[in-house]
Every structure is written in structure tokens, then in C-alpha cells.
Chains A and B, each alone.
Chain A
Amino acid sequence: MPEIVQIGPYRPQLVEPERFELVVENNKIIDVNIELGYVHRGIEKLFTTKTYMQNLALAERICGICSGVHTLCYAQTAEGVIDVTIPDRARYLRCIYTEIERLHSHYLWFGVLAHSLHEPDVFLRTMGEREQVQDLLEYLTGNRMNYLINTIGGVRRDINPEKAEKTRKVMESMKKLSNYLISLLDDNGRLTKKTKGIGILPKEKALALGAVGPTLRGSGIKSDVRKDDPYAAYGELDFEVITEEDGDVRAKSLVRARETVESIKIIEQALDKLPSGEIAVKPGEPLEKEEVGRAEAPRGELVYYIKSNGTNVPERVKVRTPSFANDFTLIEMLRGDLLDNARVIIESIDPCFACTDRVTVVDVKTGKKRKVILK
């Protein structure tokens, strides 16, 4: 019994439903249609019915996996509207919480990739060790996900020496996991053969289609909001923007694996440099203005726009999530590749919505549709 549950025929559909229509000829994908909307909740409308503070809880529920960076980006934008400067300690704490979240997000994605490549050992090891990060988040913030740690004017919980010590301990242990994941993708790595050369996104196409985050960096373009437009304390911390040249699934995987090492570096530096003082200031009244804010989510650039009419409820909030930007690069990546590779390619952008188990295959000659289950 146990082996079924651990490796078994379950499907770790991480993710929300999204339908892909692949046009296939001789097992080769020639065209792709993407159908969205199964997760639509009318969030942008809901934003205009709640106060600025209540909207923090709504913002983080756009995506459970990168919930922290949503509150960070929303809070930063709202701080522009309210015209408040946050304390130094809060800036560093925001970096720490956001990077811990990046770790859990990248490890989770790696687990899913390993599963779609039929590597149960890698899946179990990654997911098993990742639990330490989840426990740490729960210990620091009070919840495993949707932790609501950022608030307008700072952060809600401090890191005391005891908590810092625990964080360092977990980071030590995560270094081993990150190195293991990188080793899986090096020249003789176990996953290299299965991921090299598939789902290629050339540099020019990545730019033309507006890819962001690891998907863009995997195609050799150095772009990271943390470096290009530093927010929180990123301008004062030393880290590298990871890029890989090939643009295939391996390159994108390697970018994420190497980024976890950088995240650990950022967390350790921020803990060392953590300034003393307040963790939050009381925000004032919103001014009548518009503001745009951006942040680097685990999946790429996240953009918030807020229009304020001076009341405590925003007049308009617009969100551009990274997965939305990356989704359309899939059309380019899938076209010309084999049907067998489709699942791995779709997962390679780390889509925040992808119930990829139901794929409709359209036979171009007869126009008939049939459903297949990707193995």
C-alpha cells in the first residue's frame, strides 16, 4: 500500500484548471490553444469593495503559492498612495520573508517537475525536505500559506534572535538540498537527458512574447526586478541574477535551482545586517493619486496598479501576474515539439494555473476531437 501513495498513480496537479488544445500530427504538436477562466473569481472588482487593509488578505489569495509577494507588492503600491515610508527593519524583514517564500515555491515546482519526469525519489526527497521551509514559515508567520506578514507601513511580525537562529539552521540544511538539485541538472545529471533540448524558447521570442522571471532568464536575458528596480532592502544586499543560455526546460530548471542558492544567500545576509528599530509605522490617509508598483515573484515580475480617490476604498486595482505573462510563451515552446513532452514543457514555466491532465487532441484531417491523459 505505501508505495502506491508515495509514488503511485496519483497526479500532483499542483495547480488550477486550464485547458490546452493541442493540434497534433504524427505525435508532433503543430498548434496550441489555451483556454482560461476556471479559476476566475472577479478579484479586481472585489478589490474595490474592501478597504486598503482588508485588501491585503484578498491580494494574497490571488495565488496561494506566492501569497507573500502579492501582499508585498500590494503594500508597496498602497504605501505610494498613502505616502508612507516604512522602517529599515521592516525592509529587511520583507526580504527575508519573500526569499523564504521563493525557496518553498521553487522547491515545490522542482518536486512537480520531478514527478512529471517520473522521478519519484527526487519528488519525495524535494517535497520531504521542503517541509522544513513550510514549518519555518508557519513558525515565523503563523500560517503555512497566506501568511499575511506584510502590511501597509511595514511587517506584522518580528524576527527575534531565537527565530533568527532557527532560520539559519533551516538554511544550512536547505543548502544541501539546493546543491543536490543543481547536481541533478549538470552535464551528467539524472534529469539532464530528460530535459535538455525540449521546449526551447529562443531569446528573441522570449522578449517578443513578454516572458518574465525564470522563463525569461532561462533564455539568457538578465532581467530581475530585485536588481533592475530595487525595492525593500534588495539594493543593499549582494546577490547574482542567474541566467542560462539554452532556453530549454533544463535551462529554466537550472535557473530556479541556482536561484534557491541566491535566496539562501540573501536571507543569511539580511539576518546579519538586520537593523534595529520599529517593524511598522501607522499609515495615514490615502491621497488622491495613481500608483504603480512591481516586485519579483518566484515566477517573475508582478505588477500592481492602484487608483485612489482619497477614500479608504481604492477606486481601481489592476494586477498583472507573472504566470499570465508567461502563459503565452507556451504556444511557442509547444509548437513543433512531441506530444510526449507536452506536460514537462507546460510545467517548465511553473504555471500558476495548469490542470494539464485533460488535453484535447484535435485531428487536423478529420477535425475530430478526442481527450488524452498525459503520462
Chain B
Amino acid sequence: MSGKISVYRFMSAGCNGCDVQILECLVPRYKLAELGVDVVFTPEEANVLAITGGINVKGREELKKAYEKLKPPKLVVAVGNCAVTKEIFDKGYPMVGPPDQIAPVKFYISGCPPRPQAIVTAIAKALGATLEEKEGYWATPEGFRGKHEFDSEKCMGCGACAQVCSSDAIDVLEDYGKRIIKVDYGHCSFCAFCQDECPTEAIKLTREYHLLTDNRNTTNVTNEVELFKCASCGTYFVPARQIDWALERIESEVSEYKDFRNNLKAAMEICQNCRREIRNIKNAKKLLSQLSLKVQTI
């Protein structure tokens, strides 16, 4: 893109965090001036539309109007996760966004909110320019909550992260004997509850914050875990690692159960559907004989 860049900011149904970050971009240290970018306050003067927020019923018509008034090349950028996916407001009743259903979005900048550093770098990238990022404030401090990372050695695919996620950004999918944990960081509110709750410390929020993409479907981090086949009926039902983890935990918590390890393991290797089949002693015995287990008498 060449020529003068004039940005008009449009906001509907967000928290205004991203709007403040755009305002902060104007502070000289973020070098927006060096890129020759101008922030204007009517859509008629602008050729770039920066959308923040997830767009509600009232904002939809206003967004359409603003887009029509833009000067060519009518570049639309979604700033922040509300504009990317509606984030935590996804299921809100007045929401009609995200903006890419109303206007064609060219770039998506993820973050909640994205740092001004991320916004300015994204603009530079879109312009084909590079910024010097030497000074200390370009790096993120220790403990910054950025893009997710899985430790595939540790992850057992239990899905606890999906349970505690505050904005439904984590999906647990099952496919051909594999369980896939999929984190959509374009949908994430970066609360780090997943990191806090993970029983094996397998998911971590890294210090990576440059989250620019031109394809909405690429804002994912995934991890695959092998599933275990039910010892009785042969359907995949639980990650193999989760059985080992649960056994270890039972052993460490209740020492008396140590002797029953094999029995516990065998019990865990039967899927919930087969367990439901055990309605009477006859069925139970049949199942046990199938699995060639001894009946424990107490």
C-alpha cells in the first residue's frame, strides 16, 4: 500500500480497551509518525478503517455507512479480539458481528487489548516497512499473558482448560482415535485461567504478542493426544495419558489402594457406555469374564 494512510476508528460493542491502545499509539515512542500514518475523525477523510468491538444491532448500520464513505483502497482492520470474533461477548443477544460479516476485513490483530506495540508493528507490516524495536518497552515483561503454547509431553488432553475458559475459546475435538485441544487465541480473553487450572502445567501463555494475520482461521494453537480404546467394546473414549495420571494420583493420595492398581486400571479402561450395561450381576460377571479378571471378594 502506498500513499498517505489515514485511519478512522470505528467502535461498537467493545470495552474501549483497544480504543485506548490506539490512542496510546500516538505517543511519540511508538513511532506511528515515522510510518506517516494519520488518525482522522471522519470516515470521508480516511482510507483505512480500524474496527474495535464486536458490533451490535445499533452499530451495524453505522458500520455499513462508515465503510461506504471510505476512500479507496478501503482497507479494513479488526483491532482486538472483539473485532476478530466477538470474544467474551460472543453469545450476547444484541451482537451481530464480528465485523467481517458486515465489511471485508483484510487484517486481524489479536489481543485483549493488543499492545500499542503490536498495533504499530502490524501497521508497519501492512505497509511493508520495518520498525526498530530495540528499546526495552518493545519486549514484554516477565509474566505477560500472550499467545498460548502447549507442552505436548505434559498435556494429557483432559480438557480442564476448556471447562474453565472464560470466553469459550478452547474446543475439545475428537477425531480418528485422537483428541485435539484447540485454543483459538483470536477468541481468547487472555485471563490465563487455563494456565492456572491445568493439572499438569501443560498450557502456558507465552510472551509472544505480535498476533497479526490476514486469515481468521489461522488464529489457533492445537495439541493432539492419543485416545484409548475401551477394553470391552473397542470404541475410543479417554486419552491414555489421563488413565495413567488418574492412577498415579489415586496411589499418591490413598496409599491403601496401591495393591489394587491393576484392578483400578482395568476398571478405568472400560468406557462409560459399557459401564452402563452392567445392570445386574449376570452382566457384570459376563463383562468380567470377557476381560478375564478375577472377582475380588472382600
Contacts and interface: CB of A to CB of B under 8 A. Distances in A.
A61 B56 CA distance: 15
Given A135-B137, A142-B145, A10 B38 contact: yes
B151 interface: no
Given A16-B11, A41-B92, A57-B191, A144 B59 contact: no
Contacts of B94: 40-42
A11 B141 contact: no
Interface string B133-170: 00001001101110000000000000000001111000
A141 to B, nearest CB: 8
B39 A5 contact: yes
Contacts of B42: 357, 373
A157 B56 CA distance: 34
A156 B196 CA distance: 10
B91 A49 contact: yes
A38 B13 contact: yes
Interface string B98-134: 0000000000000011010000000000000000000
A332 B72 CA distance: 43
A4 B18 CA distance: 22
- Decide if the interface of chain A is mainly helix, strand, loop or mixed: loop
Contacts of A311: none
B36 to A, nearest CB: 5
Nearest to A58: B88
A38 B59 contact: yes
Contact of A39 (B14, B27, B37): B14
B291 interface: no
Interface residues on B, range: 35 or more
Interface in A76-120: 108, 111
A61 B88 contact: yes
A64 interface: yes
A368 B11 CA distance: 28
A8 B147 CA distance: 34
B40 A17 contact: no
A64 B36 contact: no
A46 B167 CA distance: 11
B214 interface: no
Nearest to B95: A41
A41 B54 contact: yes
Contacts of B59: 17, 38
B23 A14 contact: yes
A173 interface: no
Q: Give the 4 A-B residue pairs with the shortest CB-CB distance, closest first.
A: A64-B17, A11-B41, A10-B39, A57-B166
Given A1-B36, A40-B13, A41-B95, 6 more contacts: A14-B20, A46-B91, A61-B15, A61-B189, A63-B15, A67-B17
Interface of A: 1-2, 4-6, 8-17, 37-43, 45-46, 49-50, 53-58, 60-65, 67, 108, 111, 124, 127-128, 131, 134-135, 138-139, 142-146, 148, 156-157, 352-353, 355, 357, 373
